[in-house]
Structure 1
Amino acid sequence: MFSFNKLTVFATALAASSVVLATPASVKKRAALDVFVPPITSPVAGDVWVVGQQKNVTWDTSNAPAHITNPIGQILLAKGGPITGDVLADGFDILIGSIEVTVPDVVDGDDYAIILLGDASNYSPEFTITHSA
């Protein structure tokens, strides 16, 4: 018959072995999904967008992994780093590579950037938004 100490040691060893055995499966499951951070190809530095126009935001999907952690995209407008709160597009498949947005009514002549969200965020170079061409 086991004493209390021997039983405790046996139960602890059994519990530890089940954790070790479960670890590889959870690692394999996580490894099957990859974070995808596609580089933004448009807008580029120096572009000038006019309020109210339709513009294409584009990104490179050529190196997309087979399994993406979050394939749903969102386009945001940023000014000086922080997000301005303008959601220009959302709910699209990150693998489409481009989406048309309407240039929002913002402060004339300021520099902005596009943020592409999905798995992670990626910023475009800064560009200008103005009220007239």
Structure 2
Amino acid sequence: MAAPVNTPQALIVFNPTITAPTKHMSWPKGSTQEIKWDTENIPAERTATTGVILLGYMENDSENLDIDHPLATGFPLNDGKVTVKMPTDIDSTKDYFVVLFGDSGNKSPVFRIA
């Protein structure tokens, strides 16, 4: 059985704004692209945190994330960007988004992969 915590613990959450891709942007299938996010407010305790980028799309009012095929992993969040290759075997009719995971998760605006 776990012992209770006697003092409250502060959670350190960094939820950066994704600045690229932007809304209505279109990236070609198989292209190399740069995903960017704001690093201005990274807490000092999170400067060594690494991240994961997942591709997702909305369907039936549900977010669908491709957790089996991350676009990028293990990059430093304080870099503010990571270069990824867009998949080639996806449906061009969907609106996609990327999600940045590290200390917290943040979702981009929707964009196209055509």
TM-score, normalising length from structure 1?
0.72
1:75 and 1:100 mapped to 2: Cα distance? Answer: 10
Runs (5+) with no aligned partner, structure 1: 1-18
1:98 and 1:74 mapped to 2: Cα distance? Answer: 11
After superposition, residues 1-133 of structure 1 pair within 5 angstroms as 23-24=6-7, 27=8, 30-31=9-10, 34-68=12-46, 71-80=49-58, 81-85=63-67, 86-105=69-88, 106-130=90-114
Q: Given residue 108 of structure 1, which amino acid in structure 2 is its aligned partner? A: S
Counting aligned pairs with the same residue, the percent is 36
2:80 and 2:44 mapped to 1: Cα distance? Answer: 15
Rg larger in structure: 1
**Structure 1, residues 48-73: CA drift from partner, whole Å, max 9, x if none?**
01011110000000011111298110
Checking the alignment, whether the CA contact within 8 Å between 1:44 and 1:124 is kept in structure 2 is yes
Q: CA RMSD in A?
A: 2.2
The higher-RCO structure (CA 8 Å, 6+ apart) is 2
User: How many residues matched?
Assistant: 106
What's 1:10 paired with?
none
The runs of at least 4 consecutive aligned structure 1 residues that moved more than 6 Å come to none
Structure 1 residues 66-75 or 111-120, which shifts more? 66-75
**Structure 1, residues 81-119: CA drift from partner, whole Å, max 9, x if none?**
220333000011111100000011211232100000011
